[in-house]
Amino acid sequence: MTIQDRVRVHEVTLLSDNWYTLRTTAFDWRRNDGQWQRMHRETYDRGNGATLLPYDLQRRTVLLTRQFRYPAFVNGHDDLLIEAAAGLLDDAAPEERIRAEVEEELGYRLGEVRKVFECFMSPGSVTEKLHFFVAPYESSMRVGEGGGLAEEGEDIEVLELGIDEALAMVADGRIADAKTVMLLYHARLHVFSPG
């Protein structure tokens, strides 16, 4: 039996199509005991995305962004968020999109990039799947100031941090963005040797 055999969709209602798409759905779910149960769920569809952590092995540094995030602010985070560069795919291939985002946000044109995994970030309500990448960088790859696109409301500060400092910032709560935490721990385990 596939998951499709366990779901019967009855009604999908569009609630909002302003910034992204919010729908509510009534469906039946076939439980493990074989009984059907009526469920109602909202799904927020913002498209899929990609994120990337640039690293310099020799200098033991990473590049991150710092920017204002309204949803984090209204949830009590009274600071800018420190994050890995990221963006929505907008019908582009993940590697193509993340290269453009890194150039826009960080000001670097990367060489080799490596996909490390993909994950659903908040599968209880958001449809987005995020593609995670890492890539080496060096100062010669810098082609601009970064900072994002003002016409998209971006006002991004570029940060270069030592990997150990970045991990300490995760531990003390200064870095609280899930995708960034995941990439930093991946880098600690698979990119940087213990220091």
- DSSP string covering 89-106: -TTS-HHHHHHHHHHHHH
Is residue 71 domain-shared with residue 138, that is, in the same domain? Answer: yes
Is residue 9 domain-shared with residue 34, that is, in the same domain? Answer: yes
Residue 23 placed within a domain:
yes
Q: How far apart are CA 9 and CA 31, in angstroms?
A: 15
Calculate mean pLDDT across residues 51-77: 96
Residue 55 placed within a domain:
yes
Is residue 87 domain-shared with residue 172, that is, in the same domain? Answer: yes
Is residue 92 domain-shared with residue 108, that is, in the same domain? Answer: yes
**How many structural domains does the chain have?**
2
Residue 168 Cα distances to 81, 161, 175, 187, angstroms: 15, 11, 9, 14
Please list, residue by residue across 20-33, b when 16 or more beta carbons sit within 10 angstroms of its beta carbon and e when fewer do: eebbeeebeeeeee
Q: How far apart are CA 98 and CA 116, in angstroms?
A: 13
Residue 95 placed within a domain:
yes
3-state SS, one letter per residue, for 4-39: HHHEEEEEEEEEECCCCEEEEEEEEEECCCCCEEEE
| CA atoms 159, 162, 163, 168: torsion sign | negative
Calculate mean pLDDT across residues 125-130: 96
Query: Is the model's pLDDT at 114 over the cut of 90?
Result: yes
Is residue 103 domain-shared with residue 140, that is, in the same domain? Answer: yes
Q: How far apart are CA 62 and CA 59, in angstroms?
A: 9
Q: Is 113 helix (H, G, I), strand (E, B) or coil?
A: coil
Q: How many helices (H) and strands (E) does the chain have?
A: 4, 10
CATH code of the domain containing 163:
3.90.79.10
Residue pair 115/133 in contact (Cβ under 8 Å)? The answer is yes
**Which domain covers residue 34, as residue numbers?**
3-45
Query: Is the model's pLDDT at 30 over the cut of 70?
Result: yes
**Residues making up the chain, counted from first to last:** 195
What is the reported pLDDT for 148? Answer: 83
Query: Is the model's pLDDT at 100 over the cut of 60?
Result: yes
**CB-based burial of residue 195 (10 Å sphere; 0-12 exposed, 13-18 middle, 19+ buried)?**
exposed
Is residue 15 domain-shared with residue 84, that is, in the same domain? Answer: no
Q: At what angle do helices 178-190 and 163-171 cross, to 10 degrees?
A: 130
Confidence grade of residue 194 (pLDDT, cut at 50, 70, 90): low
Residue 25 placed within a domain:
yes
Residue 195 placed within a domain:
no
